[in-house]
């Protein structure tokens, strides 16, 4: 009986694993380390050679903008044209820095891992730390992924 219990426990442990490939397309992240954020709707667009990825659910909106729709990694800092935004009751952006010292800088990255031109989808991952407009409040968005989200393009190259 003990062996049966151990086998059941092992099976149950592996069957609970989240597999993003079973949730296609997907856009999700952790907010402040513990709040799982999963987009209920999302859009990806390319206009004037600028890539915009946005998703929303009832708790907030995540938007990411990069200046080049190519497979690459893009840094998100207040002094770059690439940025990310999280909005709940406040709007946080990597274009804002915190107040207090040089240690309070927004940062992050978005890595575009695949642009599937055949199926017109995009996949990648991201994380960022952002501040609200006054620099007083911060949000941490980590373990972010976007997987096989359809691209709506106006002028895709």
Return the closest-CA partner of residue 99 out of 127, 141, 142, 133. 133
Q: How many angstroms separate the Cα of 134 from the Cα of each of 5, 36, 56, 82, 92?
A: 55, 26, 24, 20, 10
Q: What's the pLDDT band for 4 if we cut at 50, 70, 90?
A: very low
The pLDDT of 95-103, averaged and rounded, is 81
Chain segment 126-146, per-residue pLDDT in tens = 999 999 999 999 999 999 999
pTM of the entire structure? 0.82
Residues 6+ apart with CB under 8 A from 120: 150, 151, 153
Q: Tokens 């609200």 map to which residue?
A: 132
CA count, 13 A, side-chain hemisphere, 129: 12
* Structure-block tokens of residue 3: 């062996």
What is the CA 16 to chain-centroid distance, rounded? Answer: 23
Tell me, what's the pLDDT at 118? Answer: 95
Q: Is 10 inside a domain boundary?
A: no
Which residues fall within 8 angstroms of residue 101, CB to CB, at 6 or more apart? none
145 domain-assigned: yes
| HSE-up of residue 102 (Cα within 13 Å, Cβ side) | 0
Q: Identify the domain containing residue 111 by its residue range.
A: 21-153
* In-domain check, residue 78: yes
Decide if 44 is inside a domain: yes
7 belongs to a structural domain: no
Residue 56 lies in a domain: yes
> Is 4 among the domain residues?
no
Query: Into how many domains does the chain fold?
Result: 1
* pLDDT tens sequence across 32-74: 998 999 999 999 999 999 999 999 999 999 999 999 889 999 9
Q: Say how far apart CA 24 and CA 22 lie, in whole Å.
A: 6
* Window from 102-116, 119-133, 143-157 with minimum mean pLDDT: 143-157
For residue 13, give the H/E element and its range: helix 2-15
Which is more confidently placed, 113 or 99?
113
| pLDDT beyond 50 at 21 | no
Question: Is 12 inside a domain boundary?
Answer: no
Instruction: State the pLDDT at residue 102.
Output: 62
Position 110 pLDDT exceeds 60: yes
């Amino acid at each position: 009986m003990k062996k049966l219990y151990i086998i059941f426990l092992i099976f149950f442990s592996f069957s609970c694993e989240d597999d993003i490939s079973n949730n296609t397309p997907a856009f999700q992240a952790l907010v402040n380390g513990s709040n799982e954020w999963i987009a209920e709707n999302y859009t990806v667009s390319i206009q004037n050679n600028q890539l915009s990825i946005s998703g929303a659910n009832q708790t907030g909106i995540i938007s990411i903008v990069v200046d080049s729709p190519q497979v690459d990694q893009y840094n998100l800092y207040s002094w770059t044209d690439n940025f990310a935004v999280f909005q709940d009751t406040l709007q946080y952006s990597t274009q804002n820095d915190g107040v207090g010292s040089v240690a309070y800088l927004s940062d992050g990255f978005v890595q575009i891992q695949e642009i599937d031109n055949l199926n017109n989808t995009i996949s990648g991952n991201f994380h960022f730390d952002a501040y609200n407009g006054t620099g007083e409040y911060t949000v941490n968005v980590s373990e972010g992924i976007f997987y096989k989200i359809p691209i709506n393009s106006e002028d895709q190259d």
